[in-house]
Structure 1
């Protein structure tokens, strides 16, 4: 019999500043849930933009589309959202980029995803050291309701970013349940902020509609983009200074040790 997923506990944060409690919860569990980041109107605008992205690409089944912020103003507005960016800065300092932005669609009546950690298929982040370093900080904006289990939620394993052993291969192969899985339950407009090394998977989706989530992945400035080979010049021409900065557009990005990286452009610096 499959274990019932745990959703009672939540590492709930408030929009905006990264508090000492936030830091303790993030270090302990590897993730935070931030409710009430987007208004209902903002959620609807982002959802419509997400649907357009997938329709344009003609996606079928589970799918993800990158770099939508370059063409969709509603998604561009989330790149440096004031409810989330202060927490990213608190974890990284002021030298980081938007490595990628993926809009994911889980189809109606979609099944479980596979357990995994985020990282690079070319080089396992675990090889870099223990604990696995923070190289991809993901901010996931929920664009459809996930306030109950089996709504296409994310299922996390709290504290697994500190585990010194891997998840058993049979669980990964069979997409099996485990007693410490935590299904993230939150309404549309909430954000899940999490460390790349936390083991997680997509939970089942019983609804008769497609589930959409917009993911923004922040990384150190020397990490290569994963949703684009280069930034769109038209986007850069109209981007705000902060968004251009986060796009990683600076002189000599190929130079070692960040040569040519600009000074911080954040307003409070």
Structure 2
């Protein structure tokens, strides 16, 4: 059995403000799809930057490269994109950081990925509480077309961030299909915004080209970086105040995250 996308059943959101309907859909399913975030020209520029990152690292097969925003301006510009950041702020408030930014490549004719929830290999998030808290909010920019199944799409299990039991081990071990999986079909330039606890996997990719996605992961300010040990000083010197704040570089005159933590960095 091969999973197919649900026709007419998608948690579609508009760029910009986080509406009451957005909140209901996100709480119910654990994710939103935001079409039309990037223009064709912006998508092309970001795809070229993503390709450069992997060429510079010499990656092969499925691979991911972190912190590309420090060297690629077009990828830096996505950190606080006005189509997405208002939704992140609505879910987190004004105190959060960019925990990591991973550029992933699924190679041509790539197979299925394994089912998983996002989190930390050092400490499983499900040990914290039920439901699993929002500790990694991922904004995934699709840089190659995924408007049909088997184009390296993400497959999500709607509402699984609220499940009290794990996905069966045999399905995870065999990378098996589930009847409630939804293959996310959206054109290049779209964004998939999702909760770390939603069960998901990479769907098969039948194309003769590499599939690229740029992931920005936002977290509470006390979560450690996962794509870098420290921020690049040259990047911090030239970037904007808001992006420096999201990089986790702020004044702490008394103690980490104590009374000296700035109230907000956003102008509105």
1:120-179 deviation digits (Å, cap 9, x = unpaired): 000000010000000000000000000000000000000000000000000000000010
Which residue does the alignment assign to 1:237?
237
CA distance in 1: counterparts of 2:254 and 2:210, whole angstroms: 40
Q: Say yes or no: does 1:136 pair with 2:136.
A: yes
CA distance in 2: counterparts of 1:197 and 1:57, whole angstroms: 30
Alpha-carbon spacing, 1:138–1:254, altered in 2? closer, same or farther (3 Å): farther
Paired residues, what number?
A: 267
1:78-132 deviation digits (Å, cap 9, x = unpaired): 0000000000000000000000000000000000000000000000000100000
Q: Secondary structure at the match of 1:227?
A: coil
CA distance in 2: counterparts of 1:237 and 1:262, whole angstroms: 19
Q: Per-residue deviation at 1:250?
A: 1.7
Q: Per-residue deviation at 1:264?
A: 1.1
CA distance in 2: counterparts of 1:3 and 1:48, whole angstroms: 32
Q: Secondary structure at the match of 1:214?
A: strand
RMSD: 1.3
CA distance in 2: counterparts of 1:70 and 1:144, whole angstroms: 22
Q: Secondary structure at the match of 2:139?
A: strand
Which residue does the alignment assign to 1:173?
173
CA distance in 2: counterparts of 1:23 and 1:255, whole angstroms: 34
Q: Say yes or no: does 1:164 pair with 2:161.
A: no
CA distance in 2: counterparts of 1:166 and 1:78, whole angstroms: 33
CA distance in 2: counterparts of 1:4 and 1:215, whole angstroms: 24
In structure 1, the gaps of 5 or more residues are none
1:191-232 deviation digits (Å, cap 9, x = unpaired): 000000000000000000000000000000000000000000
TM-score with structure 2 length normalisation?
0.97
Q: Secondary structure at the match of 1:149?
A: coil
Q: Secondary structure at the match of 1:75?
A: helix
Is this contact kept in 2: 1:6–1:180, CA < 8 A? no
Q: Secondary structure at the match of 1:161?
A: helix
Is this contact kept in 1: 2:5–2:149, CA < 8 A? no
Is this contact kept in 1: 2:5–2:185, CA < 8 A? no
Q: Per-residue deviation at 1:233?
A: 0.4
Q: Secondary structure at the match of 1:47?
A: helix
Which residue does the alignment assign to 2:19?
19
Is this contact kept in 1: 2:154–2:203, CA < 8 A? yes
CA distance in 2: counterparts of 1:248 and 1:122, whole angstroms: 21
Q: Say yes or no: does 1:40 pair with 2:27.
A: no
Q: Per-residue deviation at 1:37?
A: 0.1
Which residue does the alignment assign to 1:204?
204
CA distance in 1: counterparts of 2:69 and 2:260, whole angstroms: 25
CA distance in 2: counterparts of 1:213 and 1:253, whole angstroms: 38
1:48-100 deviation digits (Å, cap 9, x = unpaired): 00000000000000000000000000000000000000000000000000000
